[in-house]
Chain A
Amino acid sequence: MSALDTFKALQSSEFGRFIGGQDHLFCAGLELAHIVGMILLLASIALVSLRLFGVGLRQQSVLALSKATSGFIRTGLALLAGSGLLIFIPAATSYYPNDFFWYKAILLAAALAVHLTAYRWITHSENPSPWAARATGSLSLGLWLSVAFAGRFIGFFS
């Protein structure tokens, strides 16, 4: 089954049509949940990334900061994924030809990959080299900001 077939099946499924039939207020609620999730995620990543650069809350250890923010990151990701899927499914086929939708998908995959590998490793290392810390911080923050940017662009280039 091609991606387009999958998108068509999602959109025309009973669930897709049910969500698509909800009113404007429901859509606005989803958009807001998406923004709240984004604020939680980006602010947490920014806090840890600044610390990896040796600025911001530098009196705290990287480990302490990553532990204190991990709950916010999880909540943020859950809100983003849940609201994102509910926004996507009822209009799946309209996203298919949008370049920025696919850029966002690729950037998101890359950001998640970095988060589960380099980010996890560096925030749990006892004494990471400053070079590795900076590289991970800029990669993580850069990728997540790019995901947000690509997401904002989707609506402007349909």
Chain B
Amino acid sequence: MTLFEFAQTLYDSEFGTSLRESELAFPIIEGLHLIGLALSVGLIFFVDLRLLGRFLPEVSVDRILQPLRPWLFAGFAVTLATGVLLFIATAVKVVVLPVFFYKLGFIVLAGLNAAWFEYRWGRRIDTWSDSAVLPGGIKAAGWASLTLWSLVVITGRLIPYLSYQ
């Protein structure tokens, strides 16, 4: 089965069709996707800005990252779940757009950056998180996260812009 056939199957399914044609469900899912994004990406931005020394620089990174982690993940869960639903409802229109695959690519890169950060720095956060000037690698991870999530938002906004009209 090709990707397009898979998209067609989802799109034509009873679930996909009813989502797409529902006057209320589709806008509500879109709204939740947007709010989930504002919270997850927004809270990530604050962590990134702390890594760059632009937000609460006098507070250790540890004390910002740890308490926000569950809220970040909750925001991402909402964004991911609603994103899957939106994909099912609009699959055939979306898989023909290069910008959709750019968005997926940027999400993967942002995820890899976060995983690398956790592996390289997160495990021994107590050895560096109190220092006022953070190691260069940490700043690089902060910049990468800011840039990649911004690209995810930009390419994501272009999807309905290029397909629904």
Decide yes or no whether B71 CB sits under 8 A from chain A: yes
Query: What size tier do the contact residues of chain A reach?
Result: 20 to 34
Q: Which of B56-89 contact A (CB under 8 A)?
A: 56, 59, 63-64, 67-68, 71
How many residues in B have their beta carbons less than 8 Å from beta carbons of A?
28
Give, as a whole number of angstroms, the nearest-CB distance from A141 to chain B: 10
Write out, one digit per residue, whether chain A residues 76-89 have a CB within 8 A of any chain B CB (1) or not (0). 00000000000000
Decide yes or no whether A92 CB sits under 8 A from chain B: no
Q: A46 contacts which chain B residues (CB < 8 A)?
A: 38-39, 42-43, 71
Decide yes or no whether A103 CB sits under 8 A from chain B: no
Q: B112 contacts which chain A residues (CB < 8 A)?
A: none
Contact B46 A47 (CB under 8 A): yes
Contact A42 B55 (CB under 8 A): no
Decide yes or no whether A68 CB sits under 8 A from chain B: yes
Write out, one digit per residue, whether chain B residues 126-151 have a CB within 8 A of any chain A CB (1) or not (0). 00000000000000000000000010
Write out, one digit per residue, whether chain A residues 7-48 have a CB within 8 A of any chain B CB (1) or not (0). 000000000000000000000100110011011101110110
Given A60-B59, A148-B34; 10 other pairs, CB 8 A cutoff = A39-B38, A42-B38, A43-B38, A43-B39, A43-B42, A46-B43, A57-B64, A60-B56, A152-B30, A156-B27
| B binding-site residues for A, Cβ under 8 Å | 26-27, 30-31, 34-35, 37-39, 41-43, 45-46, 55-56, 59, 63-64, 67-68, 71, 150, 153-154, 157-158, 161
